[in-house]
Amino acid sequence: MQPTFHLLMKTKQAARSRRLLGAALMLVTCMLAQPLHAELLVHKQRFDMPKFTTQSGVTLPVSVGWEAYGTLNHDKSNVVLVTHYFSGTSHAAGKYAATDAQAGYWDAIIGPGKAIDTNKYFVISSDTLVNLNVKDPQVITTGPASINPKTGKPYGLDFPVVTITDFVEVQKALLDSLGIQKLHAVIGPSMGSFQALEWASRYPDKVERVAAVIGTGYMDAWTAVRLERWAYPIKADPNWQQGNYYNKPQQPKTGLAVALAYVTQDALHPSGFNQKYPDLTLDIGAHRDIRQSFTAWDQLLAAATTRSQLMDANSLLYLVRASQLWRAGMDEHWQASLRRIRAKTLILPAAGDGLLTPAMAAQTAAVIQASNPQVTQQSIAQPAAGSMGHLDGLLHIQDAAPAIQAWLEH
């Protein structure tokens, strides 16, 4: 009986080992079949203010869209506000539908288990006023293309000039409506960095952490005039009609497309641009005929024309002006405004950025650090494959994920 018993035990152990091995293989197979991070599905919500007074003193009704990722905790202390860039929207992460071709612009760092972990944080983002993508069905914004309730017609250039502070005040009203009185953090790239720094300087007791990605606390004269190049093609387009083109057959499509082409070129580092667009030596026609354009320009303009389909020319002008006027605190004493910041601060320039340069970021960091020792500055390095310049703050934000996670959690 003894040998039979041992044989039976060995048989059972072998069967058990096979079951464990099978379970382990199944687990590995499932892990390989699933993405590392769960995909976020989000939906756009609407916030309405019957009366909002701009910094210029004009009172009007405004609406903005917003979306959120993660769960708000019981004491509403886990809120991370993400403020978007010049041509962006509130769609910072996730997808509206599983079939969407692309996720939000910072999906690489926002989501379950990512640097801005939605298992821990309630992440919220809103469309700005005068959002450029006003024709996008997923964008809700008030701007020159909106209907003026006093006339029943689009505002056009009767819409008031708005500032970065106006964007922040609308966001604050949205958060107030949700009962959120304090931010664990606010972070944004480019024009979003302006909003983040304005939040931290305007409401130092409400912001615990602030991160300015590819940004600055001020706009110098050189950069402000450079941005005028983005506005000029629209103003020079005869179909612009002094901004009174709504509901007319002639639209400033050419001016808008050229403006967007300039925006793209200025945001790219030459190395990244030259990798993306063909060498001019290949354009034989341009060598022989002054009327022939370069293939690189044709491709850049074609991409800009496609992007422009969801955009509004007047809205671009308003965003240019809001960016040109940017100073922390929106007055000449921007340094004093930055020195009011008490939040733990992360300054993240892109090493190859020629638009909002690392030097501007360094000066911003130095001003804040004069009164606040909690300042960290770290560059997004130029990728070995070639820098995308300003756009590294969007396309290569994953490289800064460890710095962002450390800033959030410590």
CA torsion sign, 122 to 128 to 132 to 133?
Answer: positive
* Angle, CA 225 vertex, CA 223 and CA 229 arms, to 5°: 105
Nearest CA-CA partner of 44 in 125, 110, 150:
125
201, 353, 379, 392: the catalytic one is 353
Phi/psi of residue 250, nearest 5 degrees: -90, 120
For the chain, the farthest-separated pair of C-alpha atoms sits apart, in whole angstroms, at 103
Dihedral of the alpha carbons of 328, 334, 340, 342, in degrees to the nearest 10: 50
Catalytic annotation on 158? no
Residue by residue, DSSP assigns 242-294 as: GG--TTSS---HHHHHHHHHHHHHHHS-HHHHHHHS--GGG-HHHHH-TTPPP
* Crossing angle of the two packed helices 313-324 and 253-267, in degrees rounded to 10: 40
84, 184, 269, 390: the catalytic one is 390
Catalytic annotation on 176? no
- Please, what's the b/e burial string for 290-301 (b: 16 or more CB within 10 A of its CB; e: otherwise)? eeeebbbbeebb
Nearest CA-CA partner of 124 in 158, 56, 86, 170:
170
190, 193, 308, 315: the catalytic one is 190
β-strand pairing of 147-148 with 153-154: antiparallel
DSSP-derived letter for residue 178 is T
Catalytic annotation on 410? no
Nearest CA-CA partner of 170 in 209, 125, 213:
125
Q: Which amino acid type is present at position 380? A: I
Check if the beta carbon of residue 313 is closer than 8 Å to that of residue 217.
no
β-strand pairing of 45-53 with 375-377: unpaired
Would you please indicate which residues are annotated as catalytic (active-site) residues? 190, 353, 390
